[in-house]
Amino acid sequence: MTLLAWGFDGLLLLGLLGLAWKALNSTDLFSAIALFIAFGLLMALVWVRLEAPDIALAEAAIGAGLSGALLLAALARLRGMEGNVTSNTGVEEAPNNIDARLVQWLSAILLLPVLFGLVYGVLSLPGNAVGLSAEINANLAASGVSNPVTAVLLNFRAYDTLLEVFVLLLALIAIWSMGSIQFNRSIETIGKTSLETTSSVLDTLVYLLVPVLMMVAAYLLWVGAHAPGGAFQAGSVLAAACVLLLLAGWPLHRLLTAMRLRLLAVAGPVVFVSMAAYSLIAEGALLQFPPEHAGTLILLLETVAALSIAVTLAALFSGGQGQHE
């Protein structure tokens, strides 16, 4: 049994390293994306083997699912832009070998301290660290949930999650601030050109899959209180439903930039911050929940955060501000 487990872990590790190397080393962008999707799959298996099913769930939803779709859509837009760039400037940028070499060496030199820092960090860890799990288990009853990971993420260290929600919002603002990018083909028509007419098979898939995705998102949100799951996992599954609708040609672009969906995108951060401010005044500490209401507050927080995360991720996929008309 142990031997088999060792074999499994060894093979997983080799496969992971091989995929990472090939993905970084590939000159063809599409191959790199396909390898990255496979890398996400193996990464989720690694998290499972490290007994971190919460992270495996997030990796399955984001790493293997959404970011694959996001990268593929980005590649399609790059292809759409390439022709435009050359026709505008008229000058093709010749790849300069010396410059490329210089950049490589510079980044290698800059990365060395990072490497040393990491090695130092790993070596300076105490050999028999007990971690904080004993303290967490002792205080779990006061957190309002029975899943220790959710207790840490939304109660003991809720400001971590608060900042993560803001990171997503910042990413969306960054993408929207790119403004209108003109493509030589409009985004709406990429994927719906002469080759892709409406397909009844795709429509059926969407009709069947989207309700299931929404149900699973609700299930993950609910199960997060006592088992692996939670706002990020639920939000990304819900975002996947939106992405599927967008891909099938549903006109969600306009909805996603409309005021109500902007409001939805900021709802999570706003509720989080107002709760933090309230607890600071009422309880005297940032994001300190009274134990008797903690469960309800966390569920409320997670529901709003999941909706915001879903809308933000879907808007990231949909890309630039509604300039496609």
Partner 1 sequence: MIAVIDLFSVLLLIAGAVFFLAGTLGLLRFPDVYTRLHALTKADNVGLGLIIAGLALQAESWAVAGKLVLIWLLVLLAGASVSYLVANGALKRGIRPWKS
Partner 2 sequence: MQLLFLAVALFLLCTLIAGMWRVLRGPTAADRMLAAQLFGTTAVAILLLLAETYDNPALRDVALVFALLAAVTAVAFVRRAWPEQVDDRSD
Q: Which residues bind partner 1 (CB under 8 A)?
A: 195-196, 199, 201-202, 204-205, 208-209, 212
Select the binding partner of residue 19 from partner 1, partner 2, none (C-beta < 5 to 8 A, by kind).
partner 2
Q: Is 309 in the site for partner 2 (CB under 8 A)?
A: no
Q: With contact defined as beta carbons under 8 Å apart, do 224 and 302 qualify?
A: yes
Tokens of 38: 């496979």
What x/- string results for residues 181 through 220 when contact with partner 2 is judged by CB under 8 A?
A: ---------xxxx-xx-----x--x---x--xx--x---x
Identify whether the C-beta of residue 72 lies closer than 8 Å to the C-beta of residue 31. no
**Interface with partner 2 by CB under 8 A: which range of 27-35, 98-106, 173-181, 303-311?**
27-35
The encoded tokens of residue 249 equal 């040609």
The Cα 169–Cα 265 span in angstroms is: 7
25 C-beta neighbours (distance < 10 Å), count: 10
Look up residue 247 and give its two tokens. 């891909």
d(C-alpha 238, C-alpha 312), whole Å: 11
CB of 114 to partner 2, least distance (A): 28
Q: Least distance from C-beta 245 to partner 2, angstroms?
A: 11
CA distances from 263 to 131, 165, 245, 255, 268 (A): 40, 14, 21, 12, 9
Q: How far is the CB of 226 from partner 1 (least distance, A)?
A: 16
Q: For residue 237, how many C-alpha atoms fall within 13 Å in the half-sphere facing its CB?
A: 22
Sites of contact with partner 2 (CB under 8 A): 1, 4-5, 7-8, 11-12, 14-15, 18-19, 22, 30-31, 33-35, 37-38, 41-42, 44-45, 48, 53, 56-57, 60-61, 64-66, 68-69, 72-73, 75-76, 79, 190-193, 195-196, 202, 205, 209, 212-213, 216, 220, 223, 227-229, 233, 237, 240, 243-244, 247-248
